[in-house]
Amino acid sequence: MNTADLGLPVDVPSTALFTDQYELTMLQAALKAGTAERRSVFEVFTRRLPEGRRYGVVAGTGRVLDAVENFRFDADVLGFLRERKIVDEETLKWLADYRFSGDIWGYPEGEVYFPGSPIMRVEGTFAECVLLETVILSILNHDSAIAAAASRMSSAAGERPIIEMGARRTHELAAVAASRAAFVGGFTSTSDLAAGFRYGIPTVGTSAHAFTLLHDRERDAFQAQVDTMGRGTTLLVDTYDVAEAVRTAVEIAGPELGAVRIDSGDLLLVAHRVRQQLDELGATGTRIIVTSDLDEYAIASLAAAPVDAYGVGTQLVTGSGHPTCSMVYKLVARAESTDPKAPLVPVAKKSSGGKTSIGGRKWAARRLDEYGAAEAEVIGTGPVPAELAERQLLVELVQGGDVLARESLDVVRDRHTRARADLPLSATQLSRGEPVIPTEYVNGRSGSRTGL
């Protein structure tokens, strides 16, 4: 199979058209105006968390780094732009040599964030930075939304494994990204083989109801599965009668039966009945896996049930009601001339309707209380206060156009676990609420603090 059919790179396809047309028309106008080479600073942030959420999760950073590296205007892309007359020949010539040569700083992937957090900072010329707006936002908005939902679900699941199985509920390429983000947020495996191939995520899967319905008897289906997959397999027991299916499953596989899966009905009630029946049949080590349109609330409601693992699909890959994080990419500082040594001037949008922004190149730190729990997200311009120097959040990701380092998903996943654990206990409450810690802005010139 050609992995390009799965959206997986074989010869590193260009990401240059993962953009909006106005980014190219701004480039053309800036080139003509002589302002394209002004040093600029763009920042990614969100003005608010999705309604009711108490923290956000940074996910997709690794994919952003790949996208920036592969942002190249090859002959086919340039031909498309020329044919559509999207930009003029002078701009096409400039694009042909495009390579991002600036710097990118950001919250490390897996970290949590809050309103106003400068999640990513992109620095370079206006021309090279403005082109990256859409591709950066599309990745971070999607992946962070999925990771936030996954974090809430994995928190509700506690120590029980949780499987991502939502590929059939979203676009085939979005499914791969969603599986990656879910793993960052605490999921343990995926049913999506493309995600396993691309990112090394553990994959799982056995059979669906169609396999049982294919056979003349449920017993025949179970026997065929055990014969090929062994006694440790997972048998789906809710196609017809659950109690009869459990009895048949143990008769065929014996007490070594790995697990049974329940995909319908009152999961709390059925799980208790199945556990009792398995124990009575001597299959005390057989696990119970539940699926069926689960979300974080359903998972939490099963905390006291004899459930060993969960499988989640639709609600996960749609962000459990919040499919985007509403992150924006805004110019916050720029030079007054094209001189590389020209000082940066803070700039900001001023408008009504809650869409204002704060100008200036920012740092971010998290202040802890006396018990070591986070108590505030502090952002500011200018010097970092001494007491926050060791709690800075931004790390350098790209220097002079070169990616400094890539992290394994295991490292990212562990970071998220630690970051979530550092938040106040109320962060894991599923009831609607405000961000678990406030965001404070420190004015670098006056030293004053204000809330955001």
What residue ranges do the domains of the chain occupy?
Answer: 3-123+327-451, 147-321
Q: What is the pLDDT of residue 132?
A: 98
Lowest-confidence segment of 148-152, 436-440, 443-447 by average pLDDT: 443-447
Amino acid at 33: A
d(CA 150, CA 172): 19
Q: Which tokens sit at 297?
A: 């609330």
Instruction: Tell me the per-residue pLDDT of 400-415, one tens digit each, with 9 for 90 and over.
Output: 999 998 999 999 999 9
Say whether 355 sits in a helix, a strand or coil: coil
Q: What is the pLDDT of residue 444?
A: 62
Q: What is the pLDDT of residue 1?
A: 35
d(CA 72, CA 96): 8
Q: What is the pLDDT of residue 443?
A: 78
Four-way CATH pick for 3-123+327-451: 3.40.470.10, 3.40.50.10860, 3.40.50.300, 3.20.140.10: 3.20.140.10
Q: What is the pTM of this model?
A: 0.93
**Residue 233 pLDDT more than 60?**
yes
Instruction: Tell me the per-residue pLDDT of 308-341, one tens digit each, with 9 for 90 and over.
Output: 999 999 999 999 999 999 999 999 999 999 998 9
Q: What is the pLDDT of residue 349?
A: 85
Which residues are bridge partners to 381 per DSSP? 362
Q: Average pLDDT in the 62-79 region?
A: 97
Sequence-distant (6+) residues with CB within 8 A of 421 are none
pLDDT bracket for residue 98 (50, 70, 90): very high
Q: Average pLDDT in the 335-349 region?
A: 93
d(CA 66, CA 44): 17
Q: What average pLDDT is seen over the chain?
A: 94
More confident position, 432 or 203: 203
More confident position, 244 or 352: 244
- The arrangement of secondary structure in 147-321, i.e. its CATH architecture, is Alpha-Beta Barrel (3.20)
pLDDT bracket for residue 357 (50, 70, 90): confident
